[in-house]
Amino acid sequence: MRRYGRTRIGGRHVGGRRIGGAACAVLALALVTGCEGADGSGPATTDEGAGAPAAGRAVSPLRNPDGTGPGLAPVTGDADRAKARELIDGLTTKGRGPRTGYDRDEFGYAWMDTADGVPYARNGCDTRNDLLRRDGQELRFRSGSDCVVVAMTLDDPYTGTTIEWRKQKASEVQIDHVVPLSYSWQMGSSRWSEGKREQLANDPLNLIPVQGRANSAKSDSGPASWLPPDKSVRCAYAVRFAQVAAKYELAVTAPDKRMMSRQCGG
């Protein structure tokens, strides 16, 4: 993998913008499926601007309906962006309900391997390490383990940077729930079964390893309040948010739906 302009920041190397890209393909809408918290980029904007393409290994969400492919490649081309808008247009809307009663434990303990109905379940490795293995490169594992990742290189789709991650500074890479669990609670998951909530919390479609500061700044925001700092993946992010909402039959707020559509040219 080729990197540009890398400097060391806080014990890791942060690369410049990446080049390359993954071709987008048609997603059958019947298959559409999908953490809390980013770098303080402030409220979302509608200016798509020129951003850095994702690394060549990253997969477009339109080609990754089950979330088992790595990264989040940009959605480009008129046909694919039209399909993205069609997916987003199919979402239902409603107001965001109260956060009353929300607790992370309502979605099972963090990174369980026993959430049935999702890829990687019961494979002997917890969800966090499954996602690090999916998206990381140059992986190093704990001695005697083929599960626990202790070092890797991550192309962060949210910021367009490359992170040289070590487990000693684990919080530098966090796993983002694209549709935040608190957001889902306010949009109806408070009434789901425990099993369905555990599925949402551990579904790779809804999970992306990203820069820790970016994840923290996102918090439980919807797309109207937060979008990835790297403008080139904002349509892809909107698609992934929509895939998760569609799979779990979650409504989104009207402002979130409008912002998602605008990122894909709507």
Beta bridge partners of 174: 210
Q: Which of 176, 189, 195, 185 is nearest to 240 (CA)?
A: 176
Confidence of residue 56 (pLDDT cuts 50, 70, 90): low
The answer to whether 16 touches 4, Cβ cutoff 8 Å, is: yes
Q: Indicate if the pLDDT at residue 9 is higher than 80.
A: no
N- to C-terminal Cα separation, the chain: 34
Per-residue pLDDT tens for 215-241? Answer: 999 999 999 999 999 999 999 999 999
User: What mean pLDDT is predicted for residues 150-168?
Assistant: 97
pLDDT of residue 111: 96
DSSP calls for 52-78:
PPPPTT---GGG-TTS-S-S-PPP-SH
Q: At residue 150, what is the residue type?
A: V
Residue 93: DSSP 8-state: B
Confidence of residue 14 (pLDDT cuts 50, 70, 90): very low
Give me the long-range contacts of 136-144 (CB less than 8 A, separation at least 24): 136/165, 136/209, 137/1, 137/57
Q: How does pLDDT run across 65-108, given as a tens digit for each residue? A: 999 999 999 999 999 999 999 999 999 999 999 999 999 999 99
Q: DSSP assignment, residue 12?
A: E
Band (49; pLDDT cuts 50, 70, 90): very low
pLDDT at 3 over 90: no
Q: What average pLDDT does the structure give for the chain?
A: 85
Q: What's the average model confidence in pLDDT over 123-127?
A: 97
pLDDT at 37: 39
CB under 8 Å to 134, separation ≥6 — which residues?
68, 69, 70, 204
Q: What is the DSSP string of 117-168?
A: TSTTTTSSS-HHHHHHHHH-EEEEE-TT-SS-EEEEEEEETTTTEEEEEEGG
Please tell me the predicted confidence (pLDDT) of residue 137. Answer: 97
Nearest to 103 by CA among 216, 194, 214: 194
Q: Reply yes or no on whether the pLDDT at 47 is more than 80.
A: no
pTM recorded for the entire structure: 0.80
How do residues 166-187 score in pLDDT, each as one tens digit?
Answer: 999 999 999 999 999 999 999 9
φ and ψ at residue 132, rounded to 5 degrees: -65, -40
Mean pLDDT calculated for residue range 20-40: 37
Residues 96-121: tens digit of each pLDDT: 999 999 999 999 999 999 999 999 99
